[in-house]
Amino acid sequence: MSGAPFIGVLALQGDVREHVGALTRLGADSAPVRALEQLDACDGLVIPGGESTTMSRLARIDGWFEPLRSLRAAGVPMFGSCAGMIMLADQVLDARPDQETVGGLDVVVRRNAFGRQVDSFEMDVDMPVLGERPFHAVFIRAPWVESVGQGVEVLAEISAGERAGTIVAVRQGPVLATSFHPELTPDDRVHRYFVDMVESRGERSRGSA
């Protein structure tokens, strides 16, 4: 990887433009990924927030699942926000019977766990990997993580109220996911964290070449 990393944003459906904007502000080369052949150029890939059943259906119809799984198996960093978290989970509760996922995160995720669109909310979440300052998180029909397997690092939990202890951000190796939508805030720290993941992989690759 030379120069700025290319981080694609899967453009099946969802908050594509917002992710591209955040990544571009951070100096990454970013663009929507609309064609399968674009995956070959990706140093990292974002699966955005949106509607997970629609994403899954479109991915199945257009033949995205196997290429995405191959990309993930090759160790290319991936980041999923909200619906993207569902797409990266190994197991999803309250999903449609035919809903597929890319997988890669050894977690059990509950779809729409926080409620319907009218139940959307915002709150500050402590995420120590981003520093001491809380992250102002936007939850829209959001999933949560019910359980994690070995090797999964919990990055953020809700710390107060009736939802205290609920897991809302995780990482397993090169795969990162959040229940909330960092792309809908001006705070780019989650995206900076992901860009650092991508750049670190590139440095390791160059070192072993």
Among 117, 110, 116, 115, smallest CA distance to 94 is for 110
End-to-end CA distance of the chain: 11
Residues 81 and 177: their CA atoms lie apart, in Å, by: 6
Residues recognised as catalytic: 82, 181, 183
Burial of residue 160 (number of CB atoms within 10 Å: 0-12, 13-18, 19+): exposed
Q: What residue type is assigned to position 37 of the chain?
A: E
Residues 14 and 50: their CA atoms lie apart, in Å, by: 4
Residues 51 and 156: their CA atoms lie apart, in Å, by: 23
Q: Are strands 78-81 and 175-178 parallel, antiparallel or unpaired?
A: parallel
HEC-encoded secondary structure of 45-110? EEECCCCHHHHHHHHHHCCCHHHHHHHHHCCCCEEEECHHHHHHEEEEECCCCCCCCCCCEEEEEE
